Amino acid sequence: MGGMQVTEADFAAWQQNFGGGLAVDRGRLLGYGDDTEQQLQPPPGVDPADRSIYASGTTTVPDPIHQVDLAQSLELLTPDDKRMLAIEMLVVGVYDDINYMFDESGDINDEFFVRAVDNAADLAAQSAEYGLDTEFLDVLLRNSDRTPEELASLLAEKRAEAAAAAAGGGGGRIINYIDPVALVDAVKKASSSVTGRMANPGEQQAFVKMIHGLQASGATNISVGARAEAFARESAPVEAAAMDHGRAADLIMQAIGGIR
């Protein structure tokens, strides 16, 4: 077939940028939004004789959300939107003391707000990288189902909790969540050892959410390895019991062999 040669990588890069031109660095991928319909056309420069190898028409694909998209979205927030976002970041565990975000008059601490947004974006990116289903990106894009009334009620609850914590000597902090990738690796290894198979994607997500939930609730000194093993046993008790019986049988056979 004549004409210029276009590799699969060239075509994929063109599809991502739709219509050629220089690729723009959009920052880290944070996840995906709603599905969008996009037109497929042969990339520029392809010889007419080669156009038939490319599909034409439209395709529906999830809309990728990058750091630059988030920055543009945040620029459009009204003061009330920022307050709602600040409350939702608290609800999903990005930080854990409302008094670090709001002063007594209800104004936002801008420096802390930026830190919390950065932390939420990092958690969203880690989730996207490993295919984990979390709320971090939805919250940042203001796509959650919580109503303003619900958020106002949650704010009142969190203020009461913060007051109680302050009375007891508690303090606020940005939560340094354990890397989801490391947690997935830990539960895969534990599941392989305990049940004889790798943890499936649903189990991986459940384990990450469990550990992050413990961190959000204030738990410290979490033994990831021990938690992963216990989680694997609870998730697949029949398989874990079969592995235990198999190991016991092996030990008996080894002991018999040693006697001979």
Q: What is the tens place of the pLDDT at every residue in 23-62? A: 457 778 888 877 677 665 656 666 655 555 555 556 677 7
The pLDDT of 60-72, averaged and rounded, is 80
Report the chain's mean pLDDT, rounded to a whole number: 75
The pLDDT value given to residue 174: 64
What mean pLDDT is predicted for residues 1-7?
Answer: 45
Degrees to nearest 5, angle at CA 206 with 203 and 93? 160
Q: Give the H or E element holding residue 32.
A: strand 29-40
pLDDT at 11: 47
Three-state DSSP state, 106: coil
Ranges of each domain in the chain: 8-65, 77-167, 180-256
In this prediction, residue 54 carries a pLDDT of 55
Q: Confirm if 91 and 154 have CB atoms less than 8 A apart.
A: yes
Q: Which two tokens stand for residue 4?
A: 């210029």
Cβ count near 66 (within 10 Å): 17
For the stretch 111-148, pLDDT in tens is: 889 889 988 888 888 878 777 777 888 888 888 778 88
Q: Which pLDDT score is estimated for 18?
A: 44
Low-confidence winner among 18-22, 168-172, 181-185 (lowest mean pLDDT)? 18-22
Q: How far apart are CA 12 and CA 16, in angstroms?
A: 6
Identify which has the larger pLDDT, 192 or 144: 192
Q: What is the predicted pLDDT for the residue at 129?
A: 76
Q: Using CA atoms, how far apart are residues 87 and 101, in angstroms rounded to an integer? A: 9
Whether residue 14 is predicted with pLDDT greater than 80 in this model: the reply is no
The pLDDT of residue 65: 84
Predicted pLDDT at 173: 57
Kindly state the average pLDDT of the residues 150-169.
Answer: 73
Can you give the pLDDT at residue 99? 79
Average pLDDT over residues 87-97: 84
